[in-house]
Amino acid sequence: MQVIKFPERAEWTFILARPSMDTRSLEQTVSNILEGVKKDGDEAVMRYSLMFDKVSLESLEVPPQHVEEAHSAVSAELKAAIAVAKANIEKFHLSQMQPELKVETMPGVNCWRRSVGIQNVGLYIPGGTAPLFSTLLMLAVPARLAGCRQIVLCSPPDTMGRLHPAILYAASLTGVHRIFRVGGVQAIAAMAYGTGSIPRVNKIFGPGNQYVMCAKQLIQKEGIAIDLPAGPSELAVYADESANPAFVASDLLSQAEHGVDSQVLLVSCSEFLLDRVLEEVNRQLEGLPRKQISKRALENSKMILVKNPEEAMDLLNQYAGEHLILACSDAQAMSERVVNAGSVFIGHYSPESAGDYASGTNHTLPTSGYAASYSGVSADSFVKKITFQKLSQTGLAAIAETVQIMAEAEGLQAHANAVKIRMGNSTS
């Protein structure tokens, strides 16, 4: 980790910059696959699955038998853990569901807003070394609460055409309606355009490699909504001398093991603490199976020594990190000054892993500084909020003049007429 002491504010932008991700070089490759699936449907999906995932499939949908087998393959211990996580995620996301709230803005003018589940949603769960069933919980649980009519899952199979049992078990438990063993750009394309087997969806959620991210960006331009612009995962920690250096080091390492492009940031006013954490990082690193990945991620990572907690908070707000741990004695007070962050972990016993898996908050969060303008995934992400209004004749009379004057000032006579004609004083 780089150690930076007392940087000037003018240098912050440079220090806090994320490694830039330019997907333009991928756009042609990704566009070709999108076009292929748009044109040839299932046939193209199978062709690309053979090409990229080395799997020859006779059907894209996961056979029900695989799902049944997954129920036996997952250990009782893991099932119990998933049950706890699911219950907490449900509880927290349920609190985000907004009831209809009718507002009578003037007598006879009633306005309200109703949250309606997006009818068809697509979830993408990457394959690779780690079966991310936790991400599936984070997406499928709020999708169900939101009342989405059809939840579709795509995830790349192994060369035998199998998904990991934990993925299948979690999908079945959370009520995913259709499960397809398809990965990569071809999965995003299939859900965006629809194929013979895979239904077209209105919004696509979930992480993926740079090809998948690029595909999500491109289909967004064609009117399919996506959850969030994506970037490498990241963690910022603020720690004072009340922090346990071993705890802080374990948090930095839990982030660093995600991938070589992960980034961690440790901010403190105590050089003593920074030194202790650095020692601990090096010590704990040795015992980790994903040591090589973590080492490379730590090369992009920084320890920053600042003058005081106020400066630390300014810097952290400018960073707008995906995760922010406040490991300090006045963590609660500090948390009230956070304006840019995806998810905040308060105090010495709130590690990021708690939120990654089981506390109940969502772990699909804005990276790369997007936290300055985007929220993480929540129940909101799975609904549209439709506004309604009902005016009585009296209600319309109460705002008729206002509407007419404004419409005429904007030069929109027909807008004024729609009110006048109802008030019985049409000019036409």
Residues 88-117 that bind a copy of itself (CB under 8 A): 88, 91-92, 95-96, 98, 101, 103, 105-106, 109, 111, 113, 116-117
Sign of CA dihedral 350, 352, 355, 357: negative
Supply the minimum distance, in Å, between the C-beta of residue 145 and a copy of itself. Answer: 13
The binder of a copy of itself chosen from 59, 282, 292, 389 (CB under 8 A): 389
410 lies in the site for a copy of itself, by CB under 8 A: yes
With contact defined as beta carbons under 8 Å apart, do 173 and 86 qualify?
yes
Residue placing its CB nearer to a copy of itself in the complex, 6 or 388? 388
323 is catalytic: yes
68 lies in the site for a copy of itself, by CB under 8 A: no
What is the C-alpha to C-alpha distance for residues 309 and 305, in angstroms, rounded to an integer?
A: 11
How far from each other are the two terminal CA atoms of the chain, in whole angstroms? Answer: 75
- DSSP-assigned letters across all residues of 212-264: HHHHHHHHHTTT-EES------EEEEEE-TTS-HHHHHHHHHHHHTT-TT-EE
What is the C-alpha to C-alpha distance for residues 18 and 234, in angstroms, rounded to an integer?
A: 10
Residue placing its CB nearer to a copy of itself in the complex, 48 or 238? 238
256 lies in the site for a copy of itself, by CB under 8 A: yes
322 is catalytic: yes
Q: Is 360 left (phi over 0), alpha (psi -120 to 50) or beta?
A: left
- Judged by CB under 8 A, which stretch of 4-12, 56-64, 176-184, 391-399 contacts a copy of itself? 391-399
Q: Which residues contact 51 (CB under 8 A, 6 or more apart)?
A: none
58 lies in the site for a copy of itself, by CB under 8 A: no
To the nearest 10°, the Cα dihedral for 33, 381, 357, 97? -160
Q: Which residues contact 379 (CB under 8 A, 6 or more apart)?
A: 93, 94, 96, 97, 142, 145, 146
Residues 176-235 that bind a copy of itself (CB under 8 A): 202-203, 217, 220-221, 223-225, 229
| Three-state DSSP string of 263-284 | EEEEEECCHHHHHHHHHHHHHH
With contact defined as beta carbons under 8 Å apart, do 186 and 49 qualify?
yes
234, 322, 352, 363: the catalytic one is: 322
66, 93, 164, 323: the catalytic one is: 323
Supply the minimum distance, in Å, between the C-beta of residue 211 and a copy of itself. Answer: 16
The binder of a copy of itself chosen from 99, 286, 307, 308 (CB under 8 A): 286
What is the C-alpha to C-alpha distance for residues 1 and 300, in angstroms, rounded to an integer?
A: 7
The binder of a copy of itself chosen from 77, 99, 160, 308 (CB under 8 A): 77
The binder of a copy of itself chosen from 3, 17, 51, 130 (CB under 8 A): 130
Binding mask 320-359 for a copy of itself (x = CB under 8 A): -----------xx--x--xxxxxxxxxxxxxxxxxxxxxx
The binder of a copy of itself chosen from 288, 296, 311, 314 (CB under 8 A): 288
Supply the minimum distance, in Å, between the C-beta of residue 47 and a copy of itself. Answer: 26
Supply the minimum distance, in Å, between the C-beta of residue 361 and a copy of itself. Answer: 4
Q: Which residues contact 59 (CB under 8 A, 6 or more apart)?
A: 197
Catalytic residue set: 322-323
